[in-house]
Structure 1
Amino acid sequence: MAVGLGPMSTLHPVPGFELGIASAGIKRPGRKDIVVMRCAEGSTVAGVFTTNAFCAAPVILARKRFLGPVRYLLTNTGNANAGTGESGLANATRTCAKLAELAGVPENAVLPYSTGVIGEPLPVEKIEAALPAALTNLSVDNWADAAAGIMTTDTLPKGASRQFQHDGVTITVTGISKGAGMIKPNMATMLGYIATDAKVAQGVLQDLLRDAANKSFNRITIDGDTSTNDCCMLIATGQAALPEITSASGALFAALKQAVLEVSMELAQAIVRDGEGATKFVTVQVNGGATHQECLDVGYAVSHSPLIKTALFASDPNWGRILAAVGRAGVPDLDVSLIDVYLDDVAIASRGGRAASYTEDQGARVMAQEEITIRIDLGRGTCSETIWTTDLSHEYVKINAEYRT
């Protein structure tokens, strides 16, 4: 049911970054559910991680290790290894140790990632048995297969790629992500992996990823649930014949920043377009806020409202639900007489009440579209924020009711 999401465009190989896929049969026999990624020696790695207090064992381990020399990333689907306590941490450590042994690298050079059902023991033996095949499969050309390998309830794999020239050298930025449900931003709500062959100092790379996540992955929501397993990683392999980027300045940094942001934005919006049961891709744009935070508060109040989301699914221009959400967003001293609300270009509310020009037919026309913009002007200042979300359909309930069966 993905909204406006088709086959992935070309995913350019990133020199110094290889991907291998194999089947461990964790949830379904024969499914390619193990992805191993190998970074060139000397790569720098940045990461952003879920803020959920019940974060999964692999998140705990990856968060501890990613600042050190990283050579391998190990992802399994079908099991989140979350809510598993000390045994879960021991199992994540064991799978990393096995991969390190097979690859001949220090154990701390392997980062684990898991996605799937929460609260079930990680099937370590199945994962260990699949690792040799994943290592044998390693190739710079395996981005598309890896994008499929990390899927859970996704209906389509998600990938994006950009290239640019600097001083006659081609720089590549390529990424993949997974996510369709349990999506609510609080760092980068999904699993995502982005790599570039630029050489970037770790501190600069970390700031670059954090900024990109805040403008993309941290601006999406499907159901308001922040996952236990969210991670987004940015790897710089340093294989391009250009000087190291050591500060957030200069033409090379600016071009790299733009490419990383474009890849992040495309991946983030693909998650929304593939939201579980989604039939609408909805942009919620809040303008005229006194602060960015109050714009976000209003945007999320609208994006998370079950009443608004079900109205979107029904193509029902029940605009009173939008006003109600704005009013309960917690903005201090909100003057509703200054607020205007639009569906695309149709004014539905002006100065706190129904717009004089509005007709039900106009609203119904917009709500029937697959892609809709809800624009809210608060009339309080100059700050703006944009959030991307979905409707709430029968299919969403069905998918999540049957997820473990």
Structure 2
Amino acid sequence: MLYLIAEQLGFPGILNLIRYLSFRAGGAVATALLIGLIIGPKFIGWLRVRQGKGQPIRTDGPQTHLAKRGTPTMGGLMILTSVTLSLLLWMDLSNMFVWACLFVTLGFGAIGFLDDYDKVRKASHKGVSGKVRLAGEFVIAGLASWMIISQVGTHLYVPFINYPPLDLGWFYIVFAAFTIVAFGNAVNLTDGLDGLATFPVIIASLAFMLIVYLVGNVKYAEYLGIPHIPGAGDLTILCGAMIGAGLAFLWFNAPPAAVFMGDTGSLALGGALGTIAVASQHEIVLGIIGGLFVVEAMSVIIQVFFYKRTGKRVFKMAPIHHHFEQMGWSEPTVVIRFWIISIVLALAGLSTLKLR
């Protein structure tokens, strides 16, 4: 909105700053943070009144979690509000990449909201059918992938290899949609402890803020040997909004949490990161930067696979953060150590920018 106004006026005087992605990205961080901190207390109070008993707690999980009964969920609505308002304020309204990412963010957020609502209404942790959820997610991700492909083509870039990219043709839509859906659910599975998913999402957003800025700049992209995608730089605004909204939410989600993100927030943020990776053609790098989320998701897949075939569990409990809790690690210990891992993986992912 501000970019459009400044553009119409010819970027006079101080409004010339709005030309710069770095300024708008910083503005998006500050705006989303401020909105989140302002609406947070009243929003949490409203959720507490509306939900009564709050998010259902698994009885087969760690016993320490039973103390969290009554904590409201759907805090992701606060994140989505902050991200959307900040993004619309600072983005270039003509940028297709940003609209595709916002479409996935709000679409996945809506699916997560229905799941959270069903859990609260039925006082059960099961929620909406997994098949229904996945079907909706793939439809949304498929449409967003088609929007992005119209701008970037169907090439897959592999880090560490200095060879021409792989042209996947129309199969790229399937691959891109799978990336978005898989990462959305990976973040969703990670969101099981206070602050566990939020901070790694912030770290991943910081890493991709740098990546999309470099990808959108022809000189930096040519120097680093990464694909140059005109217009992708505007995704720094979305990354900034996610960082600011995430920090504001973490203020209220810090142990002991006053509110849970719920599927409303975790699905939306994961889907947003997946879409940003597809738009910047760094899907494989996302698997490194977001390696913590990948491990969490794989722990569930491995647990289910082996249990169905052997009747035995590989982990004491899945996702893997519960495994460490069952081993005797306290919740803050698990969270902080996983945060450290997420920082290391983000740095490893960023190192691929030059290792080509």
Q: What is the TM-score of this pair, normalised by structure 1?
A: 0.26
Question: Larger relative contact order (C-alpha < 8 A, sep ≥ 6)?
Answer: 2
Whichever structure has more helix as a proportion of its residues is 2
Q: Tell which structure's C-alpha radius of gyration is larger.
A: 1
